[in-house]
Amino acid sequence: GEGLPRPEQTRIMVVANQKGGVGKTTTTVNIAASLALHGARVLVIDLDPQGNASTALGIDHHADVPSIYDVLVDSRPLSEVVQPVLDVEGLFCAPATIDLAGAEIELVSMVARESRLQRAIQAYEQPLDYVLIDCPPSLGLLSVNALVAGAEVLIPIQCEYYALEGLGQLLKNVDLVRGHLNPTLHVSTILLTMYDGRTRLASQVAEEVRSHFGQEVLRTSIPRSVRISEAPSYGQTVITYDPGSSGALSYIEAAREIAFRGVAVHYEPYQHGRVG
């Protein structure tokens, strides 16, 4: 594909929001595919026991498949669980299997329980431009592992009533992890998802989010689109399923913004206000 600026160092982005159904997984796989189609090497780490990101990328993740569970709990090298995504060159996935649900509890008694994912990524030797980590809708040890491993947090926000509700806890966790475990961590990117420009509510929420977060909010928002929601059932991202659709084009544009922003611009530590 046509080139986008390549980061000098691997950018590790944690896609998080403890609310379910806001577009975390959809954003993870479609931003990842967009970046890969523009020539980047991208690894998606599926950290949700539901395995929705693995499904959406057409990656086998039945119970016996080597998975991110083995990496976190049995210290298996990440390279042994990573699979290539067949229809997108440069895109890879570390799948989640259902046993990951138990990892949340198994990790509690383990040494360096918060930094097991970070260590696994650091030991991974293949060159990567981006790692995108799809978090579960909770703030437990799996999400903490992601926040310790990453430098950037990408928060998808669904444009509906109560959109900001509960975000305060995520932002507090980001602050805690930055203070104690990972000084580079910051909220770099906010993406408005399922945006319906015809409703007043959506534009009001968008305005509220923009006034609260300012420059972290991408100019591009993702429209509500049937094509986006259909794609996973074909084991595809919307980028390959229907490249000309409004959903695909908006994810490609959002990925372009992310690539051009780079990391340097956003190293100002994020200061959170009274959200949620």
User: Footprint of Mg ion on this chain (CB under 5 A)?
Assistant: 24-25, 52
Q: For residue 13, give the nearest of 273, 269, 259 by alpha carbon.
A: 259
Sign of CA dihedral 158, 160, 164, 166: negative
Question: CB of 271: closest distance to Mg ion in angstroms?
Answer: 28
Question: CB of 84: closest distance to ligand ADP in angstroms?
Answer: 22
If contact means CB under 5 to 8 A according to the sort of partner, which of ligand ADP, Mg ion, none does residue 225 touch? ligand ADP
Q: For residue 48, give the nearest of 80, 26, 25, 78 by alpha carbon.
A: 25
Question: CB of 26: closest distance to ligand ADP in angstroms?
Answer: 3
Query: Integer distance in angstroms from the first to the last C-alpha of the chain?
Result: 40
Helices (H), 157-199: 167-180
Question: CB of 53: closest distance to Mg ion in angstroms?
Answer: 7
Nearer to ligand ADP, 30 or 67 (CB): 30
Binding site for ligand ADP (CB under 6 A): 20-26, 52, 137, 193-194, 222, 224-225, 228-229, 232, 247
Nearer to ligand ADP, 30 or 124 (CB): 30
Distance of CA 73 to the CA centre of its chain: 21
If contact means CB under 5 to 8 A according to the sort of partner, which of Mg ion, ligand ADP, none does residue 67 touch? none
Distance of CA 205 to the CA centre of its chain: 22
If contact means CB under 5 to 8 A according to the sort of partner, which of ligand ADP, Mg ion, none does residue 38 touch? none
Nearer to ligand ADP, 47 or 66 (CB): 47
Nearer to ligand ADP, 137 or 262 (CB): 137
Nearer to Mg ion, 38 or 97 (CB): 97
Which residues lie closer than 8 Å to 260 by C-beta, 6 or more apart? Answer: 4, 5
Nearer to Mg ion, 134 or 178 (CB): 134
If contact means CB under 5 to 8 A according to the sort of partner, which of ligand ADP, Mg ion, none does residue 22 touch? ligand ADP
Question: CB of 24: closest distance to Mg ion in angstroms?
Answer: 5
Residue labelled with tokens 């809708």 = 137
Tokens of 264: 């340097």
Question: CB of 110: closest distance to ligand ADP in angstroms?
Answer: 26
Tokens of 235: 């084991």
The CA–CA distances, whole Å, from 207 to 101, 160, 180, 190 equal 36, 12, 33, 13
